[in-house]
Amino acid sequence: MLKWYPKNGRIIFHLDMNSFYASVEAAYNPELKGKPLAIAGNPEERRGIIVTSSYEARAKGVRTTMPLWQAKKLCPELIVLPPNFDRYRQASSEIFKIMAEITPIVQPISIDEGYLDITECYDLGPPWEIAERLQQRIKNELDLPCSIGIAPNKFLAKMASDMKKPMGITILRKRDLPEKLWPLDIEEMYGVGQKTAEKLHKLDVYKIGDLVEADQFQLKRILGVNGERLQQRAKGIDTSPVDPDAIYDFKSIGNSETLREDTTDDTTIAKLLRRLSQKVAIRLARKEVVAETLQIMIRYYNRKTITRSITKDEYLAQEDEIFAVASELFDTNWNGEPIRLLGVTAQNLVEKEQAIEQLNLFNYQEHLQDEAIQNVIDELSTKYGKNPFKKIKDQVNNDTPTTSFQKDFLDDFKQ
């Protein structure tokens, strides 16, 4: 079997569940199979937004982020369900257990996708046979479809898993790039959002192959270090490891400032919190990350120091958002005594391209125009199914989680 495994390279899988939320609902209730189905926020209200839809619904023109009234007009028979977070979490847990039985080198990315490094799994057979068994086991035991990309690195594996859905297995080697990857529109490249694509268009970069040939200086001028990184990936270069401990690596970005003199002046304090929030937001943008948690530090005139933090339902990245949360924390925890130093720190950081907004569908519509939402909510679909989840009792109600749903999932996985 060693002949199928490289001597110096790696073999990486990217497993991506197809239409995860809708697929789970169809597996739980077989009567939904083959019918136009959508998951939406506020399904009882016409102003609800479609989060995901089945192939049958998509055939009628139903699309992600479409207003519910419009979807109903296109597909009057559309079945609309609210999200069931506990059901999705349970299904995800079972999926990752199956993945971990193949190799311990598993890196969860979100509730419905993850990487596996099978470089040392040559005793299990050729890579494509391992992928087929993994895919079929998830389908047979959980009745959930998935696609798997096989490649020498994480980026190419991710791109490969998107090439055939549902139930696809795609091998993407570096020698395949001119034929399979480079002809794709630049918007289809993982890590390229709408705004980045618009900037690349100004350099006449419309295909991934154009990015390979683009001038590196110009890329760095308009995109910074991200331009060089994107070009390297387009060339098939990505050395990042499959890191099972990545879910433990919650970094932070913070700034603090000592006042010229101790103060209790509200205006002075507010100006300082605003300035610190701005600095944190700039650094988050520079590193292309968002935060789940915000912490403030208050040091009083007598050097007594306290820190207080809060984890929000939504990712924090913008100056105004950070300032609002920092001000809330300060107002709640300041004892009124003179202050010598203030600090604002963003914690539990997630890369923008990997961050998936929690589907808090009560405020989803407020963020509809946010590029982060547009980039990370996949157009999902559902098909087939039996009922493997009947044995799972819904012991917890479907209220929106008090912390990020994705963070909750990662915490569950670590336990």
Q: Which residues are catalytic?
A: 113
- In DSSP terms, which residues pair with 290 in a beta bridge? 350
Q: Which of 73, 74, 93, 96 is nearest to 85 (CA)?
A: 93
| 79 CB-near residues (< 8 Å, 6+ apart) | 32, 35, 36, 37, 38
DSSP string computed for 34-61: TS-EEEESSTTSTT-BEEEE-HHHHTTT
Q: Which of 325, 320, 316 is nearest to 348 (CA)?
A: 316
* 162 annotated as ligand-binding: no
3-state secondary structure 307-320: EEEEEEEEEECCHH
Return the SS3 of 279: helix
Q: Six-digit token pair at 324? A: 């609002």
Q: Six-digit token pair at 283? A: 């650094």
Q: Which residue has the tokens 């007009």?
A: 73
- In DSSP terms, which residues pair with 296 in a beta bridge? 308, 344
* 16 annotated as ligand-binding: yes
C-alpha 18/C-alpha 166 separation (Å) is 6
Q: In the chain, count of helices (H) and strands (E)?
A: 15, 12
User: Phi first, then psi: what are they for 254, rounded to 5°?
Assistant: -145, 160
C-alpha 252/C-alpha 173 separation (Å) is 36
- Residue 143: exposed, middle, or buried by beta-carbon count in 10 A (0-12, 13-18, 19+)? buried
C-alpha 24/C-alpha 29 separation (Å) is 9
Question: The sheet that has 252-263: what strands, in order across it?
Answer: 252-263, 339-351, 289-300, 305-316
Residues contributing to the annotated binding site for Mg(2+): 16, 112
